[in-house]
């Protein structure tokens, strides 16, 4: 049996992860129903089914602790569903604790670690069902207008003899309103009944008239059913095993992307060969081949986008964990925090979701540990006692923007500089702006940890956040205002592997700059570059723009060009222009990251093959701009105001 | 041997891919072909368009409960002789009774061992073969 089971463990873990994701999402929705007698039926059903399915598959792979715990959680859900217990804060806490214990138990099994003892949680749930039990009848609704109703029809031979069957019931319900869902059920007596969720105007008279026909109506809270359906719709586009979906191993998609990458390179080679062949071919024939090559390029782009879309999953996968983390952390540290999520449906590469989980977790933990004041402090500052952490995501072209904002005390720049000096880190003199501040807190060795922080000991600091982002080709900015809060803005490419890039010539070399990093392209006369306080600037849109000659930054022999093209990186006061001799083209490039620390160079994020056998370095424009700001000081870049 | 007489088709209805794979692996010695459905509606569709000799049916599924599937299948003359093996985590007497009343031929609870499932399925298929000879 053990050999048999071993074949299915990976399936079990993958499917368990899907159920846990559904559970987390449903628990967040359910939290709003604490203390209410009527709970959103769709959410309860979803939770119930997930615990039930998890129990089933855990049992099959002989994972007893998980099976037992899922069984208890299922029992509690059943009691809630049947109205035997009311959802209390304690119950909600226990559901969350139970879900966490399930996750830990499955993770322990996956890591082949010692089994987690779930017995304590199981007992807690058992006693909760007994304690929260109620025999009070459900409260009667005051309004009986058009609303959502749960209509239960219990068929019997006598009713059928009188011509009342499930089809007749369905027709009757359609006459008075809209049927939202229809499902059979087994009632407590073991007989089959049908449950219809309807949106209809149900009068007292109707309820009485239909009662002898075996129909029973219960009102449900508005928005319940549509919410449940929206949850189901959420799944569209994601990779699930149910219905019309297939589950695909990410490695296979990587392989597919690699093959497409090779095709992109071959396509580039074709362009070059074609350009060289033009003079040897009759013009008509050349045009035909040229048209075909362009058609291949278009198809290739669609193929790439198609595969990319398969890899995209909602960023909500990262977000949904956060309320639980915040909840625990806030409780332990005596803070009151609301988490507001938005843009959860923004899609991002699955790989990025996995890699971004820890950085976002870290920023959220930091917000609770360092950013948010105690309710008393907040009261004294005239703020509401409960703080708010906002997590939002949005897509903008080829990038995804993730924001983590809190309304806490803001980053204390003086404290940060003092700590940095203490740690022996170089601290720039003069005003510390947002860019410098981020540099300081992201420096290796920097820590504002207090011994009591739960964050400490996790080996994950801001420098790891920054490194992860660099590796993923992303950028981070911070905005902080004393007493008002802090906002981290993360920009990530939608996907890795293949990116649109601009090719530029510097001296006798060609470099690629990912288009996602470039805000704008401009052209300047060499004569218009002026030296200002040791740095070079040009006049751009009525303001001085600091510029960096890439030839200097990369130690490439400079050319004697009289005009420069510039990539404008960053926006507002953080904008920097990277000067190149000439922008020579626009290509889709296959990104090969240089993850090897031995060959990693600041300012170079990877390499690509243009198809003609030439390897071209891909520049990390953000890092070069950052270095430039460091080198030249930060005149005109102050973002944080009111901080000395 | 059963498989030599004609190729049987077994319809496996379960919303869990893991369970469907396990059922297939357990029944592989029968040398039959498998058709999978992950929901009740899909099961009915597959049944309607294909030639199925045995259905392995889960009860708790998202769109349609297994009992409803049973009800539909048994109400249809064409499928009255189809052996249906209900495979569920519900191990209470009420669920078992409800399933048998709704027309299940056999009732097996999860977790199952491959041997039990194989034995049960083999028995059901052989009975059908004898019945149709």
Query: B88-109 pLDDT, tens per residue?
Result: 988 888 888 889 988 999 999 9
Nearest-neighbour CA in chain A from B130: distance (Å)? 31
Interface contact B68-A184, CB threshold 8 A = yes
Nearest-neighbour CA in chain B from A57: distance (Å)? 7
pLDDT at A235: 34
Query: CA-to-CA distance for A536 and A528, rounded, in angstroms?
Result: 10
Cβ-proximal residues to A600 (8 Å cutoff; 6+ apart), any chain? A594
Nearest-neighbour CA in chain B from A241: distance (Å)? 6
pLDDT at A161: 73
Q: What is the mean pLDDT of residues A34-51?
A: 80
- Segment A241-274, tens digit of pLDDT: 334 566 677 778 878 877 887 888 788 888 888 8
CA neighbor of A375 nearest in space, from A411, A342, A403, A337: A337
pLDDT at A226: 35
- Segment A309-324, tens digit of pLDDT: 787 888 887 888 788 8
* A141, pLDDT greater than 50: no
- Segment B14-33, tens digit of pLDDT: 989 899 999 999 999 998 99
pLDDT at B117: 94
Whether residue B65 lies within 8 A of chain A, CB to CB, comes out as yes
Whether residue A189 lies within 8 A of chain B, CB to CB, comes out as yes
pLDDT at B13: 95
In words, the CATH class of domain A498-632 is mainly beta
In CATH, the architecture of A146-233 is: 2-Layer Sandwich (3.30)
Please determine, looking at this structure, whether the domain spanning A315-493 carries the CATH number 3.30.565.10. Answer: yes
Judging contacts by C-beta atoms under 8 Å, the chain A residues touching residue B22 are: 8, 60
CATH of B2-128 among 3.30.420.40, 3.40.50.2300, 1.10.645.10, 3.60.15.10: 3.40.50.2300
- Highest mean pLDDT: which range of A160-174, A357-371, A427-441, A496-510: A357-371
Burial class (CB in 10 A: 0-12, 13-18, 19+), A542: exposed
Q: Which residue of A has its CA nearest to B109?
A: A56
Q: b vs e for B46-77, b when ≥16 Cβ sit within 10 Å of the residue's Cβ?
A: bbeeeebbbbbbbbbbbbbbbbbbbbbbeeee
Q: Of the candidates B38, B67, B94, which has its C-beta nearest A243's C-beta?
A: B38
Q: Of the candidates A7, A57, A192, which has its C-beta nearest B98's C-beta?
A: A192
pLDDT at A298: 85
> CB–CB of B66/B40 below 8 Å?
yes
CA neighbor of A311 nearest in space, from A353, A264, A357, A361: A353
At residue B75 the predicted structure's pLDDT band, cuts being 50, 70 and 90, is confident
- Highest mean pLDDT: which range of A180-189, A199-208, A357-366, A454-463: A357-366
Q: Of the candidates B15, B95, B114, which has its C-beta nearest A242's C-beta?
A: B15
Q: Of the candidates A7, A188, A241, which has its C-beta nearest B38's C-beta?
A: A241
Average pLDDT, chain A: 78
Q: Of the candidates A186, A191, A243, which has its C-beta nearest B42's C-beta?
A: A243
Residue ranges of the alpha helices (H) in A132-243? Answer: 157-161, 166-176, 204-210, 224-233
CA neighbor of A193 nearest in space, from A243, A247, A151, A255: A151
Calculate the alpha carbon distances from A471 to A404, A498, A605 in Å: 20, 15, 7
Q: Which residue has 């379960």 as its token pair?
A: B14
Whether residue B68 lies within 8 A of chain A, CB to CB, comes out as yes
pLDDT at A185: 55
Whether residue A233 lies within 8 A of chain B, CB to CB, comes out as no
pLDDT at A632: 54
Whether residue B67 lies within 8 A of chain A, CB to CB, comes out as yes
Residue among B13, B21, B56, B89 with most chain A CBs within 10 A, to mutate: B89
Nearest-neighbour CA in chain A from B46: distance (Å)? 12
pLDDT at A191: 53
DSSP strands (E only) in A494-598 = 498-506, 509-514, 518-525, 530-532, 535-540, 543-549, 563-569, 576-580, 582-590, 592-593
- Segment A154-205, tens digit of pLDDT: 777 677 678 776 667 777 887 888 877 766 555 555 555 677 888 888 888 8
Residue ranges of the alpha helices (H) in chain B? Answer: 2-5, 17-27, 40-49, 66-75, 93-102, 114-132
Judging contacts by C-beta atoms under 8 Å, the chain A residues touching residue B21 are: 8, 11
- Topology at the third CATH level for domain A2-131: 1.20.120
Whether residue B75 lies within 8 A of chain A, CB to CB, comes out as no
At residue A594 the predicted structure's pLDDT band, cuts being 50, 70 and 90, is low
For B118, the 3-state DSSP assignment is helix
Residue ranges of the alpha helices (H) in A82-139? Answer: 89-110, 119-131
Length of chain A in residues, anyone? 644
pLDDT at A134: 46
Whether residue B19 lies within 8 A of chain A, CB to CB, comes out as yes
* A574, pLDDT greater than 80: no
Say if strands A192-201 and A146-153 run parallel, antiparallel, or are unpaired.
antiparallel
Average pLDDT, chain B: 85
Between A and B, how many residue pairs show a Cβ–Cβ distance under 8 A?
A: 81
- Segment B76-86, tens digit of pLDDT: 778 888 999 99
* A62, pLDDT greater than 60: yes
* B61, pLDDT greater than 90: no
Query: CA-to-CA distance for A549 and A554, rounded, in angstroms?
Result: 9
Interface contact A62-B93, CB threshold 8 A = no
- Segment A514-531, tens digit of pLDDT: 887 788 888 888 888 888
pLDDT at A230: 33
Judging contacts by C-beta atoms under 8 Å, the chain A residues touching residue B25 are: 4, 7-8
Instruction: State percent of chain A over pLDDT 90.
Output: 7
For A64, the 3-state DSSP assignment is helix
- Segment A466-501, tens digit of pLDDT: 888 877 778 888 999 988 999 999 988 776 656 778
For A154, the 3-state DSSP assignment is coil
Element (H, E) at A317: helix A316-319
Interface contact B38-A52, CB threshold 8 A = no
pLDDT at B130: 56
Q: Which residue has the higher pLDDT, B6 or A97?
A: A97
pLDDT at A455: 41
pLDDT at A562: 84
Q: Which residue of B has its CA nearest to A62?
A: B111
Instruction: State percent of chain A over pLDDT 70.
Output: 81
Q: Of the candidates A12, A189, A190, which has its C-beta nearest B18's C-beta?
A: A12
Whether residue B64 lies within 8 A of chain A, CB to CB, comes out as yes
In chain A, where are the structural domains located?
2-131, 146-233, 250-313, 315-493, 498-632
pLDDT at A403: 93
Nearest-neighbour CA in chain A from B111: distance (Å)? 5
């Amino acid at each position: 049996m053990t050999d048999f089971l071993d074949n299915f463990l990976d399936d079990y873990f993958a499917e368990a992860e899907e159920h846990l994701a559904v559970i987390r999402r449903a628990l967040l929705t359910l939290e709003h129903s604490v203390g209410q007698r009527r709970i959103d039926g769709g959410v309860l059903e979803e939770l119930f089914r997930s615990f039930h399915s998890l129990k089933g598959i855990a049992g099959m792979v002989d994972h007893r602790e998980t099976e037992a715990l899922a069984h208890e959680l299922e029992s509690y859900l059943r009691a809630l569903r049947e109205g035997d217990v009311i959802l209390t804060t304690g119950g909600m806490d226990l559901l969350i604790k139970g879900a966490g214990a399930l996750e830990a138990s499955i993770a322990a099994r996956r890591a082949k670690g010692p089994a987690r003892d779930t017995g304590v949680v199981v007992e807690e749930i058992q006693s909760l069902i007994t304690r929260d039990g109620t025999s009070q009848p459900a409260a009667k609704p005051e309004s009986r207008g058009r609303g959502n109703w749960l209509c239960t029809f219990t068929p019997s031979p006598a009713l059928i003899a009188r011509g009342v069957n499930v089809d007749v019931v369905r027709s009757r319900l359609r006459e008075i309103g809209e049927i939202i869902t229809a499902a059979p059920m087994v009632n407590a007596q073991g007989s089959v009944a049908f449950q219809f969720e309807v949106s209809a105007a149900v009068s007292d008279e109707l309820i009485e008239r239909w009662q002898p026909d075996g129909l029973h109506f219960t009102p449900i809270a508005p928005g319940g059913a549509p919410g449940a359906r929206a949850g189901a719709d959420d799944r569209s586009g994601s990779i699930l095993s149910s219905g019309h979906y297939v589950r695909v191993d990410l490695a296979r998609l990587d392989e597919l992307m690699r093959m497409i990458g090779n095709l992109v390179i071959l396509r580039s080679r074709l362009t070059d060969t074609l350009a060289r062949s033009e003079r040897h071919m009759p013009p008509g024939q050349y045009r035909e081949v040229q048209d075909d090559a362009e058609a291949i390029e278009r198809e290739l782009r669609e193929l790439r986008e198609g595969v990319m879309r398969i890899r995209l999953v909602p960023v909500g996968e990262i977000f949904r964990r956060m309320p639980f983390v915040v909840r625990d952390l806030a409780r332990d540290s005596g803070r009151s925090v609301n988490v507001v999520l938005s843009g959860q449906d923004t899609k991002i590469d699955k790989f990025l979701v996995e890699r971004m989980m820890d950085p976002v977790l870290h920023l959220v933990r930091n917000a609770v540990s360092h950013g948010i004041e105690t309710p008393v402090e907040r009261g004294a500052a005239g703020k509401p006692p409960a703080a708010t952490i906002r997590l939002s995501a949005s897509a903008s072209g080829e990038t995804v923007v993730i924001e983590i904002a809190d309304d806490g005390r803001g980053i204390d720049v003086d404290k940060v500089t003092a700590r940095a000096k203490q740690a022996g880190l170089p601290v720039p003199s003069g005003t510390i702006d947002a860019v410098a501040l981020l540099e300081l807190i992201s420096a290796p060795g920097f820590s504002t940890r207090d011994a009591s922080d739960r964050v400490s000991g996790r080996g994950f600091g801001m420098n790891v956040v920054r490194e992860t982002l660099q590796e993923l080709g992303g950028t981070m900015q911070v905005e902080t205002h004393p007493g008002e809060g802090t906002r981290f803005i993360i920009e990530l490419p939608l996907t890795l592997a293949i990116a649109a890039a601009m090719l530029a010539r510097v001296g006798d070399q060609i470099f690629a700059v990912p288009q996602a990093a470039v805000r704008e392209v401009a052209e300047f006369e060499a004569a218009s570059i002026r030296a200002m306080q040791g740095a070079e600037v040009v006049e751009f849109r009525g303001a001085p723009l600091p510029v960096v000659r890439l030839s200097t930054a990369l130690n490439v022999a400079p050319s004697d060009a009289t005009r420069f093209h510039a990539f404008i990186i960053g926006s507002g006061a953080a904008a920097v222009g990277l000067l190149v001799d000439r922008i020579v083209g626009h290509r889709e490039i296959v990104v090969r990251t240089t993850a090897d620390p031995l060959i990693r160079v600041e300012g170079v994020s990877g390499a690509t093959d243009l198809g003609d056998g030439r390897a071209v370095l891909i520049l990390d424009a953000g890092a070069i701009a950052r270095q430039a700001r460091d080198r030249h000081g930060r005149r005109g870049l102050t973002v944080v105001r009111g901080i000395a | 041997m059963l498989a030599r007489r004609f190729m049987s088709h077994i319809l496996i209805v379960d919303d869990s891919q893991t369970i469907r794979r396990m059922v297939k692996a357990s029944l592989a010695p029968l040398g039959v072909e498998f058709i999978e459905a992950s929901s009740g509606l899909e099961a009915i569709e597959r049944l309607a368009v294909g030639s199925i000799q045995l259905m392995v049916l889960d009860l708790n599924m998202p769109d349609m409960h297994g009992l409803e599937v049973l009800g539909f299948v048994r109400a249809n003359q064409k499928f009255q002789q189809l052996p249906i093996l209900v495979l569920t985590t519900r191990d209470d007497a009420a669920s078992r009774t409800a399933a048998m009343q709704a027309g299940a031929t056999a009732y097996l609870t999860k977790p199952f061992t491959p041997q039990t499932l194989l034995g049960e399925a083999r028995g059901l298929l052989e009975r059908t073969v004898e019945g149709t000879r």
